[in-house]
Structure 1
């Protein structure tokens, strides 16, 4: 059981770190960079990146993988000193998942549904996207997942004691 507990916790920590990193990359590089572009570039680039991120690696291994593996790590750590840290990490990440599904995904989908940037009013599509709302939501997701990553890393320390 100890090996299973450590392996699930390590996997949860790694996938949470990858997810936090992806959200952070959008927060400190991608969205600020896109924010400085014209409407056509913004809409076309965001649509292309959103289509690209919808892949098994990110969705399965990172986004939902982090949720599932953190839950499994928590179950494996029941009645240990690491459980509380894993449980709080799970809670933080669950809030990030709900935020993603409630705010970011609908905005992403609406921008993709706006159509080909060469055939639509890109200024109207960008305005309807609610860029500031997306950015603020993503910063919150970044903080939540970074906190969850830190808690899972601490749970690894506690597990070794």
Structure 2
């Protein structure tokens, strides 16, 4: 991707643009790490457990991940990348924004509803048929869409890193 060089900025606008680009890169990188860790470690580790253990562990992880650090990174990646795209109209930043928007939609439309359905099943010790609950959760679907999130967020992170490099060359 190439395009016309962004205009040179001075003073406060330059500092704001660079700060937004750095914040976008950092939060997107954090989210790439979260999604990647779930992909290659958490879900792989849980896959070998019995149904009650899987349900209980996943429910606990899902409750724990809703915290200020995660919410700041998850929402911040979208917000900071949008601000960076507005202040620095680079094709790399726009591509990163598009990819992260896809990740955001997948999370809200696929992964969160699956998580919520598993939580709604109740405590694993009270389930009459934990195998049916686990099957209804559909690990394969959750993991497949998480792989898409992992690849898209990692690519967006790379694009933002490159936007920082390009911005550094332009001053």
TM-score, L = length of structure 2: 0.90
Residue in structure 1 matching 2:140, options 125, 132, 140:
132
In structure 2, the residue matched to 1:84 is 91
In structure 1, the residue matched to 2:42 is 30
Residue in structure 2 matching 1:148, options 151, 156, 162:
156
**Is 1:71 aligned to 2:79, yes or no?**
no
Displacement of 1:45: 0.1
Q: Distance in 1 between matches of 2:69 and 2:133?
A: 29
Segments of 5+ residues of structure 2 without an aligned counterpart are 1-12
Residue in structure 2 matching 1:93, options 73, 88, 100:
100
Greater C-alpha Rg:
2
Q: Distance in 2 between matches of 1:2 and 1:56?
A: 29
Displacement of 1:84: 0.8
**Is 1:40 aligned to 2:52, yes or no?**
yes
Q: Distance in 2 between matches of 1:10 and 1:90?
A: 14
Displacement of 1:58: 0.4
In structure 2, the residue matched to 1:160 is 168
**Is 1:106 aligned to 2:113, yes or no?**
yes
TM-score, L = length of structure 1: 0.95
Residue in structure 2 matching 1:49, options 47, 58, 61:
61
In structure 2, the residue matched to 1:119 is 126
Residue in structure 2 matching 1:3, options 5, 15, 18:
15
1:118 partner SS: helix
Segments of 5+ residues of structure 1 without an aligned counterpart are none
Q: Distance in 2 between matches of 1:46 and 1:27?
A: 13
Displacement of 1:25: 0.2
Cα-to-partner distance string for 1:34-70 (whole Å, 9 max, x where unaligned): 00100010000000000000112101x1111100000
